[in-house]
Chain A
Amino acid sequence: MQPKMITIDGNEATASVAYRLNEVIAIYPITPSSPMGEFADEWAAKKKPNLWGTVPTVVEMQSEGGAAGAVHGALQAGALTTTFTASQGLLLMIPNMYKIAGELTSAVFHVASRSVAAQALSIFGDHSDVMATRQTGFALLSSGSVQEAHDFAAIAQAATLKSRVPFLHFFDGFRTSHEINKIVPLSDDDLRALIDEELIRQHRARALSPDHPFIRGTAQNPDVFFQARETVNPYYAACPGIVQETMDAFAKLTGRSYHLFDYSGHPEAERVLVLMGSGGETAEATVKHLAKAGEKVGAIRVRLYRPFSAEHFVAALPETVRAIAVLDRTKEPGSAGEPLYLDVVNALVENGRTDVTVIGGRYGLSSKEFTPAMVKGVLDELKKAKPKNHFTIGIYDDVTHTSLEYDPSFSIEDPETVRCVFFGLGSDGTVGANKNSIKIIGEETDNYAQGYFVYDSRKAGQMTTSHLRFGPKPIQAPYLIEKGQANFVACHQFSFLERFDMLKYARPGAVFLLNSLYGPDEVWDHLPREVQEDILEKKLKFYVINAYDVAEKTGMGRRINTIMQTCFFAISGILPREQAIAEIKKAIQKTYGKRGEAVVQKNFQAVDMALEHLHEVNVPDKVTSTLHRRPPVPPEAPEFVRNVLGKMIAFNGDSVPVSALPADGTYPSGTTQWEKRNLALEIPVWEPDLCIQCGKCVFVCPHAVIRQKVYDPALLKDAPATFKHTDAKFKEFPGMAYTIQVSPEDCTGCTLCVDACPAKDKSQVGRKALNMAPQPPLRKQEAENWAFFLSLPDVDRTKVKPSTIKNSQLLRPLFEFSGACAGCGETPYLKLISQLFGDRAIIANATGCSSIYGGNLPTTPWAVDSHGRGPAWSNSLFEDNAEFGLGMRLTLDKQNEYARELLQDEAIRRIIGDDLAQALLEADQSDEAGIQAQRERVAQLKEKLAGKDDPRVRELLSVADSLVRKSVWIVGGDGWAYDIGYGGLDHVLASGRNVNVLVMDTQVYSNTGGQSSKATPRAAVAKFSAKGKDLPRKDLGLMAMSYGYVYVAQVALGANDAHTLKAFLEAEAYEGPSLIIAYSHCIAHGFDMARGLQQQKLAVQSGAWPLFRYNPALAAEGKNPLIIDSKAPTIPVSEYAYNETRFKMLVQTDEQRAEQLIKLAQQDAQSRWNLYKQMASIRYNGQGEA
Chain B
Amino acid sequence: MDLSTTYLGLTLKNPLIASASPLSQKVETVQRLEEAGIAAVVMYSLFEEQIIHESLELDHYLTRGTDSFAEALTYLPDSGVYSLAPDRYLEQVRALKAAVDIPIIGSLNGVSKGGWTRYARLIEEAGADALELNIYYIPTDPDLSGAELEEAYVELVAEVKAAIGIPLAVKLSPFVTALPHLARRLVEAGADALVLFNRFYQPDFDLDELEIVPHLELSTSAEMLLPLRWIAILHGQIQADLAITGGVHSGKDVLKAMMAGARVAMMASELLQNGIQRVPAILAEIQKWMQEHEYESIRQMQGSMSRQAVAEPAAFERANYMKVLNSWRELP
Chain A residues within 8 Å of B, Cβ to Cβ: 31-32, 34-35, 38, 41-42, 45-46, 123, 174, 178, 426-427, 429-432, 435, 453, 455-459, 462, 464, 555, 559, 592, 594-599, 601-602, 760, 765, 821, 852, 1006-1010, 1021-1023, 1026, 1083-1084, 1086-1087, 1141-1142, 1144-1145, 1147-1149, 1151
Contact = CB atoms under 8 A, between A and B. Distances in A.
A1023 B52 CA distance: 26
A1145 B76 contact: yes
A456 B83 CA distance: 35
A124 to B, nearest CB: 8
A309 B322 CA distance: 109
B69 A1141 contact: no
A281 to B, nearest CB: 21
B58 interface: yes
Interface string B53-67: 111111101111111
A597 B85 CA distance: 12
A1030 to B, nearest CB: 15
Q: How many interface residues does chain B have, given as a range?
A: 35 or more
Interface in B112-137: 115
Nearest to B53: A598
A807 B61 CA distance: 37
A587 to B, nearest CB: 14
B56 to A, nearest CB: 5
A1083 B75 contact: yes
B51 to A, nearest CB: 7
Contacts of A38: 77
A561 to B, nearest CB: 9
A1086 B61 CA distance: 5
B73 interface: yes
A595 B68 CA distance: 21
A1026 B77 contact: yes
B71 to A, nearest CB: 4
A1141 B55 contact: no
Interface string B191-211: 000000000000000000011
A1149 B79 contact: yes
Contacts of B52: 598
B70 interface: yes
Given A559-B63, A595-B58, A1026-B77, A462 B69 contact: yes
B65 A1083 contact: yes
B55 to A, nearest CB: 2
A824 B320 CA distance: 63
Interface of B: 51-59, 61-84, 86, 88, 115, 210-211
B83 A1009 contact: no
Given A42-B77, A426-B69, A459-B68, A596 B61 contact: no
27 contacts: A38-B77, A41-B77, A427-B68, A429-B67, A435-B67, A455-B69, A456-B69, A459-B68, A459-B72, A592-B59, A594-B82, A596-B56, A596-B84, A596-B86, A597-B55, A599-B56, A601-B115, A1006-B75, A1008-B72, A1009-B73, A1010-B77, A1022-B76, A1026-B77, A1084-B72, A1084-B76, A1086-B64, A1087-B61
Nearest to A1010: B75
Contacts of B65: 426-427, 459, 821, 1083
Contact of A459 (B51, B62, B69, B83): B69
B88 A1151 contact: yes
Contact of B76 (A123, A435, A464, A1086): A1086
Most buried by A among B51, B74, B77, B88: B77
A1007 B115 CA distance: 39
B54 A1149 contact: no
Contacts of A760: 210
Contacts of A592: 59
Given A459-B68, A1006-B72, A1151 B83 contact: yes
Contacts of B80: 46, 594
Nearest to B57: A1141
A450 B165 CA distance: 52
Nearest to A42: B77
Contacts of B54: 596
Nearest to B83: A1148
A1006 B54 CA distance: 25
Given A594-B82, A598-B52, A1009 B63 contact: no
Contact of A464 (B51, B55, B68, B115): B68
A31 B70 contact: yes
A174 B70 contact: yes
Given A596-B54, A598-B51, A602-B56, A1007 B72 contact: yes
A455 to B, nearest CB: 4
A599 B55 contact: yes
Contacts of B61: 1086-1087, 1141
A821 B77 CA distance: 19
Contacts of A35: 73
Given A426-B69, A455-B68, A464-B68, A432 B63 contact: yes
A598 B55 contact: yes
Contacts of A31: 70-71
A46 B56 contact: no
Contact of B67 (A453, A596, A599): A453
Given A41-B77, A1148-B82, A1010 B56 contact: no
Nearest to B92: A1151
A594 to B, nearest CB: 5
B248 to A, nearest CB: 29
Contacts of B58: 595-596, 599, 1141, 1144-1145, 1148
A1086 B64 CA distance: 8
B43 to A, nearest CB: 16
Given A35-B73, A174-B70, 15 more contacts: A31-B71, A426-B67, A431-B68, A462-B68, A596-B58, A598-B56, A599-B58, A765-B210, A1009-B73, A1021-B77, A1023-B77, A1026-B77, A1141-B61, A1149-B79, A1151-B88
Contacts of B115: 597-598, 601
A850 to B, nearest CB: 13
Nearest to B91: A1151
Nearest to A1140: B61
A41 B66 CA distance: 19
A178 B74 CA distance: 13
A45 B79 contact: yes
Given A598-B52, A1010-B75, A1148-B82, A429 B69 contact: no
Most buried by A among B67, B68, B84, B86: B68
A1147 B87 CA distance: 12
Contact of A1145 (B71, B82, B210): B82
Contacts of B69: 426, 455-459, 462
